Amino acid sequence: MLNTYPGAPAQGLSLSRRDLADRSWVDLVCPTEAERAAFERASGLGVPSNNDLGEIEATSRLKIRNDALYMTAPLILAEENEPWLPTPVGFVLSRQLLMTVRLATSAAFDTVAKEMSAAPNPGPAAVFVRLLEELIDHTADLLEAAGRDLDEASHAIFQPGQRKHLSRETVLLRRLMISTGRTSERMARIQYALVCLDRMAKFTTDRAHDWLGPDLAARLQSISSDAVSLVHYCEGLVSRVQLLQDAAVGIISSDQNDVIKVLTIASVIGIPPVLIAGIYGMNFKNIHEYDWAWGYQWALALIVVSALLPLLWFKWKNWI
């Protein structure tokens, strides 16, 4: 799909240089080869291919060609309830035109498109800066959602009160570990997207300072500062994820150790009574207690005392 702003949509495959004379922004969404070729003929600018959008080297992501800035970045365009997968996005910025190419829909791009339709033509550089601002805001919203998820996980892990139903709690903690692990992966993707946005803002300020204007340069500097602060916030969330996972593992291990401790104490307490019962159960004729009037009661009392003594010793040692 080929969209042009501001004004009425231009004819995609019959796009001409005259159609772009009063336009500042051309947005290519999942473009076909015919739409790519039509834009290149009309504008004289190149459209980054899918392979170009997927490059990971900084020199491949940021470059200048014929006085136009070519920038690509893997951005998180998804909403909160969607998988946060990086989507390659390309920007080509010249004095006369901004071109964007992306492989997915985006609420941030739609917001800027609506603003373009309702306001006078601000120029390609202003549109580019506005897109970066909206993308920063969208990324910040995603980080806020991730922070809320971690708050819920923290409350579940560090919930007050006595813990019950060990098996259910273990299942819950394992689910929370998986959930926070996914959040950590999301943070890594968002952090790289923010680094790319910061690089694009600095690259544009450095290479297009002579035609940007002081106002747009200041806004780009603000975008770069916001990206850096969000990266620090993202690092804090990643550290928090590690804390929550360590806490969940520690709680599971502690609960399991409590179970093992109970079983160990029960087995130790049971050894002397079993030994005594085994001795008196051998049925030898020279066991004198068999002839006692209170022999049975003596054996029962001895069994009880032999069980209580280890229990009292464990209590004295504060092991239970």
Backbone angles phi, psi at 76, to 5 degrees: -95, 100
User: 313-318 long-range contacts, Cβ below 8 Å, gap at least 24?
Assistant: 314/265, 314/268
* CATH node for 2-255: 3.30.460.20
The pTM of the full predicted model, rounded to 2 decimals, is 0.76
The Cα 197–Cα 203 span in angstroms is 10
Closest C-alpha to 69, from 193, 210, 195, 189? 210
Average pLDDT, the chain: 84
State the alpha helices, DSSP H only, in the chain: 33-43, 50-53, 58-61, 107-118, 124-157, 166-207, 209-212, 214-280, 295-316
pLDDT range class, residue 14, cuts 50, 70, 90: low
Edge-to-edge strand ranges of the sheet holding 98-102: 2-5, 25-29, 98-102, 86-93, 68-76, 62-65
Exposed e or buried b per residue across 196-222, where buried means at least 16 C-beta atoms within 10 angstroms of its C-beta? bbbbbbbbbbeebeeebeeebbebbee
The Cα 271–Cα 286 span in angstroms is 24
The CATH 3.30.460.20 domain(s) of the chain lie at: 2-255
Q: For 116-167, what is each residue's pLDDT tens digit? A: 877 777 889 999 999 999 999 999 999 998 888 888 888 888 875 555 666 7
pLDDT value at residue 166: 66
